[in-house]
Amino acid sequence: MKTNNQTFSDLADLQYENSFGQLPEAFYTRLQATPLQNSRLVTVSKSAAELLDLNLSDELKEQLAQVCSGQEALEPFDPLAMVYSGHQFGGYSPQLGDGRGLLLGEVRNSKGEKWDLHLKGAGQTPYSRFGDGRAVLRSCIREYLASEALYHLGIPTTRALCIVTSDTPIYRETEERGSTLLRLAKTHIRFGHFEYFYYTKQHDELKILADHTIEQHFPELTDKENKYSLFFRQVIEKTALLIAKWQVAGFAHGVMNTDNMSILGDTFDFGPYGFQDDFDWHFICNHSDHSGRYAFSKQAEMGYWNCARLAQALLPLMDVKDMQPSLDAYPQLYSDTYKQLMLEKLGLTSEEEEDGELVQKLLQLLHDTHCDYTLFFRALSDYQPDQQNDKLLNLFPDLSAIQPWLKLYAERLKRNLTSDKQRSENMKQVNPKFILRNYLAQQVIEKAEQGDYSELEELMVVLQSPFDEHPDLERFAQQPPEWGRKLEVSCSS
């Protein structure tokens, strides 16, 4: 329902661009969203709204709801569904594409930063295959929570501006509500975009895509003679960094297919992801991942495998010898970043030769004792040699499991360059008190499906400042109850 004649574009002070829409038609199909019935706004992320300089007035929220329900076109955009392909669970799928989302367009904020606006759940497109083009409320909430949570943990990710739900019935295992999520991302270009043009032998288009990506996102490389190999190098670096950060946070993506890999190394396409509760090396968050291809312990290797698929797709643009050194650098880039971030979690100010072993021993210990990953590091932040350390020790029913490691740690701390107080403060900046546990997402979803969004808003408070104390919201820092340990999440969303 409109209360006045002002559109979203009138209310938001944004510079509109459409660089992807200016590429040749081989890259997309233009179409409008299919409207949802009786739609309403579920939530808006204030923090994401700041990226677009939005003043979240009632009027603007109303217009946002209209745009996200497909009732109103987002002037002056010409929405489009992108075509791409990709390797899914190791096999090549020749044609994927935006089957249930549309790139509404690109905007630039007052700082000059560019953001893609993508409407997930916008209806069928030529790339929907057998899908209905829709997203249900629970999958929109899962993406919303995860993208905002990862961002506030300092992990590169796409963002989520808002969710709209409706009375349009959507059939999954049961009847659910058609919903949309407005995603913000620096780009929606995936590894799979390059694969599509490579495998369809459209090498001119492949070059156009690479040039476009470089011009838009790596402008400093535009005039370099070896720009493609420098670009590839940066993608490798960003991917290795991203996956190191996932591992350190205990995050499993769940579906690391090449069509879900952002060319800018952002966490992208949230499906059956999961954060570690009790630490398990072999954590498989995706119930449909029967072989454990994307298990937690395999993510770094899968990231490399995906980079190799990208390398293959870029072959028409450069020689193997210009790519191989970058690929070869991935394992070291990954492990150096991982180690450095883990040392920060331990509060160590410099690196010693045996620190890698200290980390490995700890992870093995957490795995063997099924210790809660997040609670452990938060409690370790308060560790004081020669004190009781009850909070930490209470995490271990059998103290003999942790004591030998703590002895090594206490020895190591003697050579650390900070006071215990300073170390504790530093550690609390990198060891979150709050993470997006699966059971918390589930509780929020169950309430939201009944029309109660209060738990969603409260959970967002802690996810937006996960390193701070929130005495009134301690309940979000608890380990999962029994029912919350065995939740199954699969691709059906």
Summarize as ranges the residues that interact with Mg ion (CB under 5 A): 259-260, 269
* 85, interface contact from Mg ion, ligand AMP, none, CB < 5-8 Å by kind: none
Task: Tell which residue, 353, 352, 356, has the closest CA to residue 339.
Answer: 356
The stretch among 1-9, 30-38, 51-59, 90-98 that binds ligand AMP (CB under 6 A) is 90-98
The stretch among 92-100, 408-416, 437-445, 462-470 that binds ligand AMP (CB under 6 A) is 92-100
Task: Tell which residue, 179, 182, 205, 181, has the closest CA to residue 194.
Answer: 205
Give me the least distance between CB of 249 and ligand AMP, in Å please.
Answer: 21
- Residue 261 as a binder of ligand AMP (CB under 6 A): the answer is no
Give me the least distance between CB of 41 and ligand AMP, in Å please.
Answer: 22
- Residue 288 as a binder of ligand AMP (CB under 6 A): the answer is no
Task: Tell me the C-alpha distance between 187 and 238, whole Å.
Answer: 14
- Residue 432 as a binder of ligand AMP (CB under 6 A): the answer is no
Of the pair 271, 347, the CB lying nearest ligand AMP is at 271
Respond yes or no: is residue 259 known to be catalytic.
Answer: yes
Q: Is the dihedral of CA 155, 157, 162, 164 positive or negative?
A: negative
Strands (E), 333-398: none
Task: Tell which residue, 154, 158, 145, has the closest CA to residue 431.
Answer: 154
Give me the least distance between CB of 163 and ligand AMP, in Å please.
Answer: 16
- Residue 260 as a binder of ligand AMP (CB under 6 A): the answer is yes
Among 87, 100, 138, 177, binds ligand AMP (CB under 6 A): 100
Among 70, 79, 133, 347, binds ligand AMP (CB under 6 A): 133
Give me the least distance between CB of 326 and ligand AMP, in Å please.
Answer: 26
Of the pair 256, 392, the CB lying nearest ligand AMP is at 256
Of the pair 250, 271, the CB lying nearest ligand AMP is at 271
* 96, interface contact from ligand AMP, Mg ion, none, CB < 5-8 Å by kind: ligand AMP
CB 279 within 8 A of CB 366: yes
Give me the least distance between CB of 463 and Mg ion, in Å please.
Answer: 23
Task: Tell me the C-alpha distance between 238 and 6, whole Å.
Answer: 41
**From 10, 78, 211, 259, the catalytic residue:** 259
Task: Tell which residue, 104, 153, 97, 126, has the closest CA to residue 269.
Answer: 97
- Residue 491 as a binder of ligand AMP (CB under 6 A): the answer is yes
Residue with tokens 């179409």: 31
CB 183 within 8 A of CB 118: yes
CB 307 within 8 A of CB 235: yes
- Residue 143 as a binder of ligand AMP (CB under 6 A): the answer is no
Of the pair 64, 255, the CB lying nearest ligand AMP is at 255
Instruction: Return the exposure string of 461-472: e unless at least 16 CB atoms fall within 10 Å of the residue's CB, then b.
Output: ebbbebbeebee
- Residue 102 as a binder of ligand AMP (CB under 6 A): the answer is no
Please, which residues have CB within 8 angstroms of residue 71's CB and are 6 or more apart in sequence?
35, 36, 39
Residue 73 DSSP label: -
Task: Tell which residue, 313, 306, 304, has the closest CA to residue 194.
Answer: 313
Among 96, 214, 365, 402, binds ligand AMP (CB under 6 A): 96
* 134, interface contact from ligand AMP, Mg ion, none, CB < 5-8 Å by kind: ligand AMP
User: DSSP letters along 43-72, please?
Assistant: EE-HHHHHHTT----HHHHHHHHHHHTTSS
Instruction: Say how many C-beta atoms besides its own lie within 10 A of residue 83's C-beta.
Output: 22
Count of chain residues binding ligand AMP (CB under 6 A): 17
* 433, interface contact from Mg ion, ligand AMP, none, CB < 5-8 Å by kind: none
* 133, interface contact from ligand AMP, Mg ion, none, CB < 5-8 Å by kind: ligand AMP
Q: What residue is closest to ligand AMP based on CB?
A: 131
| Active-site residue set | 259
Binding site for ligand AMP (CB under 6 A): 96-100, 127-128, 131-134, 255, 259-260, 269, 271, 491
